[in-house]
Amino acid sequence: MLPEIGQFSLILACILSLLQTVYPLYGVHTGHQGAIRSAKIFTILQFVAVATSFVILSYSFLINDFTIGYIATNSNSALPWYYRLSAVWGAHEGSLLLWVFLLSTWSIAVALMSKRLPIESVARVLAVLGLLAFGFYLFVILTSNPFDRTLPYFPIDGRDLNPLLQDFGLVIHPPMLYMGYVGFSVAFAFAIAALLEGRLDSAWAKWSRPWTMAAWMFLTVGIALGSWWAYYELGWGGWWFWDPVENASFMPWLAGTALIHSLAVSEKRGVFKSWTVLLALSAFSLSLLGTFLVRSGVLVSVHAFASDPTRGLFILGFLVLVIGGSLLLYAIQASKVKSRGRYQLVSRESVLLINNILLIAALIVVLLGTLLPLVHKEIGLGSISIGEPFFNRMFTILIVPFALFVGVGSLFRWKRQQLNDLKKPLTMILILSTLSTVIFLFTFAPSLTWLAVMGTFLGFWIIVGVIYEIYLRSTHRHRFSKGVMKLGNSHWAMSFGHFGLAVMIIGITMTQNYSIEKDVKLAVGQHIAFEHYDFHFDQVKPHNGQNYTATMGVFTVKKDQQEIAVMEAEKRIYTVQRMPMTEAAINAGFTRDLYIAMGEQLPDGAWAVRIYYKPFIRWIWLGPLLMAFGGLLMLCDRRYRSKKDNIENSENKPAPVGGTDA
Amino acid sequence: MNPRRKKRLLITSSLIVGLSVAIGLTLFALQQNIDLFYTPDEIINGKNETGIKPEVGQRLRVGGMVLNGSVQRDPESLKVSFDLIDNKAGQVTVYFDGILPDLFREGQGIVAQGVLKSRNAIDAFEVLAKHDEEYMPPEVADALKGMDHLKTQQSN
C-alpha cells in the first residue's frame, strides 16, 4: 500500500509542477494577480508531494520491503541501516528521485526566500523551475519508476548494494553533487525569466548571485568528496582519473566558476551581461549533459549503472529541448541587453574577462576529451579513449596564466588601472612568493623538477597575492588591525576562494611530483624501506564485518627507526554479491599520507601489495573545502540578507566605482 | 583610429591569435593521446571498420577474455602474462608488471592499455576488469558476443 501512495504522490507532484508552470505564466501574461501568487502555492504543494514520495521510498528501504523491485536489486537485510538509507540513491531510479526532490527543495527555497523580489519575477522563475521539474518527473514516472513492484514473486532478500558504494563518502557525495547540479537550475531559471521579461539589469545579477554561489559551493564540496572517495575506496590511490563521469561533474563546475565571477562584474559594473546569461544557461545545460552521459550508459565508467536506451533517448530529447529552447530564447532576446559600463583595457573587468576565457578554454578541453570518443565511435571510426596525459598537459598549460591572474587580479581597480601603480605590489609579491617557494621546497622536496618549482611558485604567488591584497585594503584608510575588521564578507569570500585554489595547486603539485608508489611482492615477515620509511609485513589475519568477511594484512611502519603506525589493510569479500573489495589502510597526515592496499595473494603465499607515500595529498581536498567556505561567507553577506534593502533603489543606482569587493 | 576602435582591434586580434595557438596545442596534445581500441582479432587482422593494423610501438587498448590457464607469473616479482581471446580467431599475449584488479579472473572480460610490443604481444601499463558482476565495457561485450557459455562456466 505504502509504495502505491509514494507512486501516487509522485504523479501528483508531476501534475503540480505542470500547474506551477502554466498558471503563473498565464497570470504574468494577463496580469491576473491570483494566478501570479499561485506559483508559490504550487511550489509548496509540489514539494510536499515529492517529499512524501521520497520519504516513503527511504522508509521502504529501512524496513527492507523487497516487494519493490528497486529495493530488491539494491539493498539487503544484512546491510547496516545507514547504508540502507543511502542505498536510496545507490542506483538509477532512486538517484533520479533524489534529483527531483532536490530540485523541488531549491524551488521552495526560492519561493520562500525571495520576499524582496517583484512577485512577477518570482512567478516566472518558479514557472521555469516547474517546467524543468515536469520534464524530470515524466522521466522518472515513464522510464525509471523506483516504486515498481516485484509482486507476486518477490525475493526473500535483496541483491545488496554494490559494495563500492557501501561507504561513508557515498552517503554524502551524491546528495552534495546533486545539490550543486540541480542548484544551477536556479541560476538557469533566473536567466530564462530575465530573458522572458526582456530585462537584464544589475538587480537580476544581484538576485541570482547568492543562488549561483550556493549551488557552486555544493558542487565544489561534492566533487571534492568524490575525489576523496575514489582515493581511499578504489584502492589504487589516485585522486582524479579524468573518468568521463568525473569530467561530467567538472564541466558544470568550470562553467559555474566562470559564472560566479562574471555575475560579480554584471552586478558591480553592469557589463558582460549577455555573457553572464549565456554562462548561466551553459552551467545548467552542462549539468544536464552530465546527467545524460552518466545515465544513458553511453559512457564506460564506474558510475554507468543504467544502460537502457529509452532512458538515454528521453534525456537526450530533454537535453535538446532545454538547450535548444534556451539558446533560441537567448538569440531572440539577447540583443535587447545593453551593457552600460565602459572600461579600459587594463582594468579589473579585463582581468575577470581573461579569467572567464581561461575557464571556458579549460571547459572546452574537458568537453572535447569527453565527447570525442563518443563522436568517434558514432561516426564509425571505432572506439578510442583519450589518455590522461592529454588532460594533464592541457591543464598544466592553462593553470599558469590562470594562477598568475588570480594572484594579482584583485589588485586591479574597476574601470581603469594604471600599470605603474602596480609595479610596487607586483615586485613585492614576486619577491615574497619566490622566497616562500624556495623555503617550502627546501623543507619538503627531496629533489627538484621544474614542474614542481612552477606549481609551488604559482601556489605561493596566489597566497602572497591574497595576503598582500588584504593588507593593502586594510591599511588603505585605517591601521591594519582596525581595517582588517572592516573588510566585508564578500571580500573574505574572494580571499578564501583564491587561497583554497592555491592550497589545491600546491597539493596537486607535491602529490604529482613527489609521490612514491611501490607495487611489491611481500611475504609475511618481509619488509620494504624507502625514503625514511620502513614497512614491515607483520601478519595476515581474518576479520569479519556485518556483511563481509575480510583478510587483513597488518603492517608496522617505522620512520627513522621510530615506530609511527600500525596499519591494517583489508581485502574484503562481500557475502551477498561475492564481490572482492580492497579496503586500503591510510595513515593520514597534514604533509603526507601513507597508503597500503592489499592486492591478490600469489600462488606461493606471498601478497602483492601497494605501498604509497603521498605528500600533501590532503591539501587537494582542503583547497576545495576552503573555496566552499568562501562561498558560505559570501552567502552570509548582509547585502544578500537584508530585508530592508529596497529593490527600486538598487536597480538604477550606478554601481560604485572602484568597489572594494567582488 | 580612435582609442575605442584601437582597443577593440587589439582585443579581437589577440583573441584570434590566442585561440589559434590554443586550438593548435590542443590538437597536438590530442593526437598524441588518442588510444584506439582493438580486439585481439583486430590486432592481428586489422580493424573491422578500416582494416588498418596497429603498428608495433603504438599505444592502444585491447579488450577480450582471459584465456583459461594462460596466466603465468614470475616467481620473483609481480610480472605476469596472460592471453586474451575474442569471439573470432584472435589471440594476443599481454605482459603486465603490477597488481591485477580485484575482479581479474581467468575466463573474464578485461581491458588492457599499453604498447604493442610485437605483432601479437602487448606491454600493458594498466589492466582494468569490469567493476561488478553486471557491468562490462560495451566494446568487450561486443568482442565476446556468443561466448557466454565460457563465461558462465568460469565466473563461479
> What's the complex ipTM?
0.79
B85 in reach of chain A (CB within 8 A):
no
Chain A CB contacts of B131 under 8 Å are: 164, 302
**Chain position carrying cell 607469473:** B73
- Asked whether residue B4 falls in the same domain as residue B75, the answer is no
B78 → closest Cβ in A380, A381, A521? A521
B48 in reach of chain A (CB within 8 A):
yes
CB A57 within 8 A of CB A6: yes
Average pLDDT over every residue of A97-102: 94
Report the SS3 class of residue B28: helix
B100 in reach of chain A (CB within 8 A):
yes
Nearest to A540 by CA among A525, A557, A529: A525
Type of residue numbered A402: F
CB A555 within 8 A of CB A566: yes
- Asked whether residue A308 falls in the same domain as residue A177, the answer is yes
Cα–Cα dist A468/A455, whole Å:
20
Q: Is A185 a member of any domain?
A: yes
- Asked whether residue A369 falls in the same domain as residue A448, the answer is no
Type of residue numbered A73: T
Strand partners, B36: A384, B60
Asked if B78 and A387 come within 8 Å (Cβ–Cβ), the reply is no
Cα–Cα dist A304/A215, whole Å:
24
Tell which of A140, A166, A192 closes a domain.
A166
- Asked whether residue A371 falls in the same domain as residue A475, the answer is no
What pLDDT sits at residue A643?
A: 46
**Which of A293-307, A478-492, A631-645 is predicted least confidently?**
A293-307
Which residue on chain A is closest to B30 by alpha carbon?
A390
Q: What b/e readout covers B13-29, taking b as 16+ CB neighbours within 10 angstroms? A: eeeeeeeeebeeebeeb
**Which of A81-85, A146-150, A527-531, B102-106 is predicted least confidently?**
B102-106
CA-based R_g, chain B, Å: 22
What pLDDT sits at residue B132?
A: 47
Best of A160, A242, A275, A300 to mutate (most B CBs within 10 Å, chain B): A300
B7 in reach of chain A (CB within 8 A):
yes
Average pLDDT over every residue of B80-91: 88
Nearest to A308 by CA among A296, A299, A325: A296
Which residue on chain A is closest to B78 by alpha carbon?
A521
> B122 lies in which domain range?
36-154
- Burial status of residue A370 (CB atoms within 10 A of its CB: 0-12, 13-18, 19 or more): buried
Q: Is A325 a member of any domain?
A: yes
Torsions phi, psi for B54 (to 5 deg): -70, 150
Q: Is A344 a member of any domain?
A: no
- Asked whether residue B63 falls in the same domain as residue B111, the answer is yes
- Asked whether residue B20 falls in the same domain as residue B54, the answer is no
Chain A CB contacts of B132 under 8 Å are: 162, 164, 577, 579
- Asked whether residue A540 falls in the same domain as residue A507, the answer is no
Which residue on chain B is closest to A378 by alpha carbon?
B49
Cα–Cα dist B116/A360, whole Å:
36
Asked if B37 and A580 come within 8 Å (Cβ–Cβ), the reply is no
B37 → closest Cβ in A304, A384, A582? A384
Cα atoms found within 13 Å of the Cα of residue A255, Cβ hemisphere only: 31
- Asked whether residue B27 falls in the same domain as residue B8, the answer is yes
pLDDT in tens, A137-153: 999 999 889 998 877 77
- Asked whether residue B66 falls in the same domain as residue B128, the answer is yes
All three cell numbers of B129, joined, read 576488469
Q: Give the confidence band of B57 by pLDDT, cuts at 50, 70, 90.
A: confident
What pLDDT sits at residue A185?
A: 95
Strand partners, A563: A558
Torsion sign over Cα A535, A451, B19, A334 = positive
- Asked whether residue A253 falls in the same domain as residue A139, the answer is no
CB A648 within 8 A of CB A515: no
Strand partners, A562: A559
- For the cut 50, the answer to whether the pLDDT of residue A661 exceeds it is no
- Asked whether residue B27 falls in the same domain as residue B43, the answer is no
Pick left, alpha or beta for residue A117 (phi over 0 → left; psi -120 to 50 → alpha; otherwise beta). Answer: beta
Between B126 and A431, name the one with better pLDDT. Answer: A431
Cα–Cα dist B128/B118, whole Å:
21
- Burial status of residue B55 (CB atoms within 10 A of its CB: 0-12, 13-18, 19 or more): exposed
How many beta carbons lie within 10 A of that of residue A219, not counting itself? Answer: 30
B26 → closest Cβ in A368, A521, A604? A368
Type of residue numbered A30: T
- Asked whether residue A582 falls in the same domain as residue A450, the answer is no
Asked if B30 and A369 come within 8 Å (Cβ–Cβ), the reply is yes
Q: Give the confidence band of A216 by pLDDT, cuts at 50, 70, 90.
A: very high
pLDDT in tens, B110-129: 888 899 999 889 999 988 87
- Asked whether residue A364 falls in the same domain as residue A246, the answer is yes
Nearest to A499 by CA among A587, A346, A326, A625: A625
- Asked whether residue B27 falls in the same domain as residue B40, the answer is no
What pLDDT sits at residue A295?
A: 67
- Asked whether residue B40 falls in the same domain as residue B29, the answer is no
What pLDDT sits at residue B147?
A: 60
Nearest to A71 by CA among A101, A51, A55, A91: A91
CB A557 within 8 A of CB A587: yes
- Greatest mean pLDDT among A643-657, B92-106, B126-140 lies in B92-106
| Number of structural domains chain A divides into | 4
β-sheet with A607-615: strand ranges across? A516-522, A607-615, A592-601, A585-587
Cα atoms found within 13 Å of the Cα of residue A649, Cβ hemisphere only: 4
Cα–Cα dist A167/A578, whole Å:
17
- Asked whether residue A311 falls in the same domain as residue A388, the answer is yes
Share of residues in chain A with pLDDT > 70 (%)? 94
Cα–Cα dist A422/A487, whole Å:
21
B55 in reach of chain A (CB within 8 A):
no
What pLDDT sits at residue A309?
A: 65
Which residue on chain A is closest to B102 by alpha carbon?
A580
- Asked whether residue B30 falls in the same domain as residue B66, the answer is no
Cα–Cα dist A266/A269, whole Å:
6
B100 → closest Cβ in A344, A368, A600? A600
Q: Is A227 a member of any domain?
A: yes
Question: Strands, E, within A299-426: which ranges?
Answer: 384-386
Cα–Cα dist B147/A179, whole Å:
43
Average pLDDT over every residue of A612-626: 95
Report the SS3 class of residue B134: coil
Q: What is the dihedral of CA A410, A412, A414, A417, to 10 degrees?
A: 180
> A469 lies in which domain range?
418-514+620-628
> CA A198 → CA A201, A277, A331, A335, A576, distances in Å?
10, 12, 12, 10, 58
All three cell numbers of A465, joined, read 597575492
Which helix (H) or strand (E) segment is A102 a member of?
Answer: helix A92-113
Nearest to A82 by CA among A451, A450, A546, A488: A546
Cα–Cα dist B67/B151, whole Å:
11
Average pLDDT over every residue of A604-611: 90
- Asked whether residue A14 falls in the same domain as residue A74, the answer is yes
Asked if B30 and A599 come within 8 Å (Cβ–Cβ), the reply is no
Strand partners, A321: none
Type of residue numbered A542: P
- Asked whether residue A92 falls in the same domain as residue A193, the answer is no
Angle separating helix axes A618-635 and A489-514, nearest 10 degrees: 170
Chain B CB contacts of A388 under 8 Å are: 33
- Asked whether residue B84 falls in the same domain as residue B63, the answer is yes
Q: What b/e readout covers A575-595, taking b as 16+ CB neighbours within 10 angstroms? A: bbbebbbbbbbbeeeeebbbb
Average pLDDT over every residue of A126-135: 95
CATH number at residue B108: 2.40.50.140
| Number of structural domains chain B divides into | 2
Q: Report B:13-32 residues touching A (Cβ under 8 A).
A: 15, 18, 22, 25-26, 29-30, 32
What pLDDT sits at residue B115?
A: 92
What pLDDT sits at residue A305?
A: 44
Which residue on chain A is closest to B129 by alpha carbon?
A302
Angle separating helix axes A309-333 and A273-296, nearest 10 degrees: 170
Q: ∠A213-A214-A220 over CA atoms, to 5°?
A: 85
**Chain position carrying cell 582594468:** A347
Report the SS3 class of residue A587: strand
- For the cut 70, the answer to whether the pLDDT of residue B149 exceeds it is no
- Asked whether residue B134 falls in the same domain as residue B68, the answer is yes
pLDDT in tens, A274-330: 889 999 999 999 998 887 777 666 665 444 444 566 777 788 888 899 999 999 999
Type of residue numbered A190: F
What pLDDT sits at residue B136?
A: 59
Q: Give the confidence band of A503 by pLDDT, cuts at 50, 70, 90.
A: very high
What pLDDT sits at residue A339?
A: 67
- Asked whether residue A492 falls in the same domain as residue A601, the answer is no
- Asked whether residue A138 falls in the same domain as residue A195, the answer is no
Cα–Cα dist B97/B126, whole Å:
9
N residues, chain A:
662
B49 → closest Cβ in A380, A387, A579? A380
CB A565 within 8 A of CB A557: yes
- Asked whether residue B28 falls in the same domain as residue B96, the answer is no
Closest Cα in chain B, distance from residue A174 (Å): 19
All three cell numbers of A54, joined, read 521520497
- Burial status of residue A406 (CB atoms within 10 A of its CB: 0-12, 13-18, 19 or more): buried
Average pLDDT over every residue of B31-55: 84
What pLDDT sits at residue B156?
A: 31
Best of A243, A521, A576 to mutate (most B CBs within 10 Å, chain B): A521
